[in-house]
Structure 1
Amino acid sequence: MIELKKKAIITGLSLLILVTGCYVYNAFYGNPFSRALAEQKLSAYLQEAHAGETLNMKGSSYNFKFAEYLFRVSDERNDEYIFSVKGGLHPAVTNDGIKEARQEKTRARISKEASNEIKRELEKKLKNVIDVQVSLSGSYDVNTNWKKLKQTEPIAVTVTLNSGRDGRRQVYDQAKVVKKLLSGYHYENIEIDSMGLDGEDRPGYVKYSVHVLKDRAIAIEDVEKTL
């Protein structure tokens, strides 16, 4: 009787260890069944979302933090992209690395178009414009251009000026010109970095910074000395 109890206890402990081990392994590494379902789902997704493209799955890993499988997919140029698939019995593709890369490229192109246009506008009144950077956060069709977006799309603008040895008052006047010239744009904010001269009389550091809001006039107190 005692021997049977011992065997039952040992068997129970063994099963508990086995179940716990499987649970821990599944939590950190996934399992072959869910991995196969995820791969099957991704394969079907690629055929539908990227029909006509030559794509190959090159490997996968499990992200235990987000409980998802990460697949490396290469195109005909052998560029690699990461796709995420989440879900056990009913997996779904949660991230398309190819679409993400194309969106990033499209945003960069539109941002450059906007930056160049705004820089030209500022240079009509200011002779010390060094650079203009426009940031976009939306998702756009690959054929979208800046001309279609400029009246409606919220943007964030960073303007870099060579203010040389100008003081706070001069930078304040320049900031007002920037705000006035960009009044027709749908910006969320404008950051103006006013560059001071280094030891060789070249713009070498941000001397003043100005944060400009669309619905508020600039005050001289907004011109902050950084050094």
Structure 2
Amino acid sequence: MKKKIVYSALLFITVAFVLVAYNSFNGNPVSGMLAKKALERYLADRYPDKELQIEEGVYNFKFAEYVFDVMEVGDQTRSYQFTLTGFFKPEVNIDGIHDANLDEQLMERLGGEASKELKAILEQKVSRLVGVDVYLEVLKDKLADDTKWSKGIKLDGPMQIELVLDAADSDQEDVYHAAKTVQHVLKDQGYDYGYVNINANDFDGEDTKDMESGYVKYAVSFEKDADIKLSDVETLNQ
């Protein structure tokens, strides 16, 4: 009797392991159906004037997401890729129609102007600031090509800010205080943003410091109005 119970338990564990492994690499019909339904609702809400057809989705185990191609009815030459994450409450994290309509040239120029402005402001308050990189989104035909950057222009969502600090002679607490200072300055200056990511890099004697050089020693990210804690600062490459 004991052997039978042990055998049944081992069989159950083995089957459960196989199912979990299969789900990890292939997803499952239920989560796939939920993802497709979520995408249908998203498309109806976001693009009510378009007649769209969702192709069969595939599961990308590397990023734990479902990937769907969406076609415009009557124009089978164009397809847009959408991805959704979340098994029980899937959400769209890549919108191919939105991305296809971004004015990338204008975005790059305005992002560069915003980066330059923010660096001039932040380096007065934040020591060891190496670089600032701003990503923002502008849809085609929403702004004139000669539009100049200002924090009051209409963007398609809040901007994202990447900062690099020199980690020399700094510790976790220094990076924490830098993050709090950045948050305070952005609020005081009236900047709208989605999140800020700060990497404090060890440049290991490199003569040239830029956004790409050095390796990350500390990292912290925060959203607007978040309550930043010391524990939010990650220590890496130690």
Q: Which residue matches 1:217? A: 227
Secondary structure in structure 2 of the residue aligned to 1:171: helix
Measure how far apart 1:137 and its partner are: 2.4
Structure 1: runs of 5 or more not aligned: 1-65, 67-84
Measure how far apart 1:219 and its partner are: 0.4
Please tell me whether Structure 1 or Structure 2 has the larger radius of gyration of its CA atoms.
1
Provide TM-score, normalisation by structure 2.
Answer: 0.51
Secondary structure in structure 2 of the residue aligned to 1:173: helix
Is residue 2:152 matched to residue 1:142?
A: no
Alpha-carbon distance in 2 for matches of 1:219, 1:201: 33
Correspondence for 2:182 among 178, 181, 184:
178
Q: CA distance change for structure 1 residues 112 and 181 in 2, over 3 Å: closer, same or farther?
A: same
Alpha-carbon distance in 2 for matches of 1:152, 1:178: 23
Secondary structure in structure 2 of the residue aligned to 1:207: strand
Correspondence for 1:191 among 172, 197, 217:
197
Note if contact 1:103-1:142 (Cα within 8 Å) is conserved in structure 2: no
Is residue 2:121 matched to residue 1:121?
A: yes
Measure how far apart 1:138 and its partner are: 3.1
Note if contact 1:150-1:185 (Cα within 8 Å) is conserved in structure 2: no
Alpha-carbon distance in 2 for matches of 1:190, 1:160: 11
Q: Which has the higher helix share?
A: 1
Q: CA distance change for structure 1 residues 175 and 137 in 2, over 3 Å: closer, same or farther?
A: same
Residue 194 of structure 1 aligns to which amino acid in structure 2? Answer: A
Secondary structure in structure 2 of the residue aligned to 1:182: helix
Measure how far apart 1:169 and its partner are: 1.0
Q: Which residue matches 2:105? A: 105
C-alpha RMSD of matched pairs (Å): 3.5
Q: CA distance change for structure 1 residues 103 and 193 in 2, over 3 Å: closer, same or farther?
A: same
Alpha-carbon distance in 1 for matches of 2:101, 2:223: 31
Measure how far apart 1:106 and its partner are: 0.5
Q: Which residue matches 2:67? A: none
Note if contact 2:111-2:136 (Cα within 8 Å) is conserved in structure 1: yes
Which aligned runs of 4 or more in structure 1 are off by greater than 3 angstroms?
Answer: 90-95, 150-153, 199-203
Note if contact 2:195-2:222 (Cα within 8 Å) is conserved in structure 1: yes
Provide TM-score, normalisation by structure 1.
Answer: 0.53
Q: Which residue matches 2:236? A: 226
Alpha-carbon distance in 2 for matches of 1:94, 1:151: 26
Give the number of equivalent residue pairs: 144
